[in-house]
Structure 1
Amino acid sequence: MPFCILIASPVSNHQTIEVALRRSFRFILLLSIPVAFALAIYMQDKPVHAAGDTPSNGEQKALEAQGRDVLVIDGDTIMIDGVVADIAGIDAPELGQQCRHNGNFWDCGMSSAMQLRKYFAMAPFTVRCWPGDKEHSGKDDDFPIVECGIGERDVAAAMVSDGEALPIEGYSHRYDGLSEEADNAGIGIHGGDMIPPGEWRSGARLDGENGRCLFVPEGDSHYLGTLDPRYKDTTADRREFLCSDEQARSEGLSYAPLKK
């Protein structure tokens, strides 16, 4: 009986690979259809608006600006393109609030505001802000809240990590962890005595604190803060100082709009 050796043809191998690739492509295509459909349904429930767009249903719009164009009102409140908003997830010391470190008072509220201003002034990328989680914001009113980023940097997380603000309970586990780390290291407001901002707004003060109120009424329905360049020219009665932007809002005032 003759002895035969069978050698697989190279053409046969190429054909086998081609068939396998075709089957894989069809499988991936079939798998992508339900994924794309599910994504489309999800995006219908999560509307995204480009900066500057005005949503037709009245929803809060996304914002963006160069860092130098962001007006810092206090340590957790900003104005972008005429829109005033609170930075979501954090509560910074009020502008005129003082803290105590080694027996000495320092203007921790002003320090927080200046740190926030520095983040924006030195921003190497466009500042982008989008609507925050209203449900866990700790606020009952309809005032806008935003989460802001500078490139990959989360502004609120930076404020908490640098000891310039406290996290709002229930908003972000990440912020809670960063605050705990800052507290353990005694960074910023964690390095001494401080009245929680919410209690300070209600009138509580450290013993001996010379807390100042640094917002003033401006006109019939507006107010200004001392960090605003327009403050030096205001003709408002400075005996009627307001202690926080929350107080101003509760009295029916809105922040003075920029003139175009």
Structure 2
Amino acid sequence: MLRIFAFLIALLATPVLAAPNGTIRVVDADTIDVGGTRVRLFGIDAPEMGQPCRADGREWDCGVWTRDAVRDAFEGAFARCQTRDTDRYGRAVAQCSVDGQDMGQLIVRSGLAWAFRRYSETYDLDEKAAAVAGRGLWAVEAELPSDFRAAQAAVDPAPTGNCAIKGNISSGGRIYHMPGQAHYGRTRINPANGERWFCSRAEAEAAGWRAARR
């Protein structure tokens, strides 16, 4: 009896992650809105917006290219999702299916994203199938998104004119730092992750950022 009671207490103490279901709006090739909930698809990593793809002497935006392909395939469809985690941007990390088919698997198998092995080997074989067939990203020259993000993060772009307020995204949410505040100097802005510079407090707050506490 005591064991059953202890189990029930542990179960009640475990946070229940919501399972979003609803109509899909594609944000990029690995991020979607499902019934109003922002979802980062589990186990896959797609090109960032502004990340270049190259082939036959041409260069284009890899993030836009893969996003549009995923949008053509899934926009407006009904998804059922199983939440696995929450990331540092507050997004649900979930596996989602459409008509019983795993979205992550279909995207990776189509060559529109890589298997995100840092977190899971779930789509490893699907990536290999895309590579063997030369589909999507495997038919062009493109770096891994993690390498692109690292390169972007290493560059802290200078503010334009008087726009010196840093809009940072962290586990605490969207926070802006004013010059002279405690963490201003060590805060880095990575536009690839949606971070940005602001020209005024009003602009930052209107965009959804809140002031740093110190």
TM interval, short-chain normalised: 0.5 to 0.7
Instruction: Tell me what 1:88 maps to.
Output: 42
User: How far apart are the structure 2 equivalents of 1:78 and 1:181?
Assistant: 24
TM-aligned CA deviation for residue 130 of structure 1: 1.2
The CA distance in 1 between the partners of 2:27 and 2:89, in whole Å, is 19
> What residue number does 1:155 align with?
103
| Equivalent residues, number | 160
Deviations 1:218-250 (A, max 9, x none): xx948xxxxxxxxxxxxxxxxx982224x57xx
Query: Helix, strand or coil for the counterpart of 1:202?
Result: helix
Does the CA-based 8 Å contact 1:74-1:113 persist in structure 2? yes
Q: Which has the larger radius of gyration?
A: 1
Q: CA deviation at 1:148?
A: 0.5
Match of residue 23 from structure 1: none
- 2:115 is aligned with 1:115: no
What displacement does 1:140 show? Answer: 7.6
Report the 3-state secondary structure (helix = DSSP H, G, I; strand = E; otherwise coil) of the residue aligned with 1:182. Answer: helix
Q: Residues 84-233 of structure 1: matches in 2 within 5 Å?
A: 84-121=38-75, 123=77, 126-132=78-84, 134=85, 143-169=91-117, 171-173=120-122, 175-203=123-151, 221=174
Q: Within 5 Å, give how 1:33-52 maps onto structure 2.
A: none
Report the TM-score, using the length of structure 1 for normalisation.
Answer: 0.52
Assess if the C-alpha contact under 8 Å between 2:23 and 2:34 holds in 1. no
1:14-93 matches, cutoff 5 A: 58-67=15-24, 70=25, 72-93=26-47
Q: So what's the TM-score if we normalise by structure 2?
A: 0.62
The whole-number CA distance in structure 1 between the counterparts of 2:110 and 2:68 is 12
Q: Secondary structure at the match of 1:114?
A: helix
Deviation at 1:94, TM superposition (A): 0.4
Offset at 1:95? 1.6
Contact 1:85 1:143 in 2 (8 A): yes
What amino acid is aligned across from residue 29 of structure 2 in structure 1? Answer: G
Q: Please tell me whether the aligned partners of residues 44 and 116 of structure 2 are also in contact (alpha carbons under 8 angstroms).
A: yes
8 Å Cα contact 1:160/1:182 also seen in 2: yes
Give yes or no for contact 1:92–1:164 (8 Å, CA) kept in 2. yes
Residue identity opposite 1:130 in structure 2? Q
Paired residue secondary structure (1:243): helix
- Contact 2:34/2:79 (CA < 8 Å) preserved in 1? no
- Which residues of structure 2 form unaligned runs of 5+? 1-7, 153-166, 168-172, 176-188, 197-204, 209-214
Q: Contact 1:95–1:244 at 8 Å: present in 2 too?
A: no
Equivalent residue of 1:96, what SS?
Answer: coil
Describe the superposition over 1:120-143 as per-residue Cα deviations: whole angstroms up to 9, x where unpaired.
2263xx3111113x5xx9x78874
Note the C-alpha offset of 1:179: 0.8
Q: Deviations over 1:186-217 (max 9, x none)?
A: 1111112111100101126xxxxxxxxxxxx7
Return the offset for 1:115.
Answer: 1.9
Q: Which runs of 5+ in 1 are unaligned?
A: 1-43, 48-54, 205-216, 223-239
Separation in structure 2 between the aligned mates of residue 92 and residue 129 of structure 1, nearest angstrom: 19
Measure the CA separation in 2 of the matches of 1:76 and 1:152.
18
SS of the aligned residue for 1:203 comes to helix
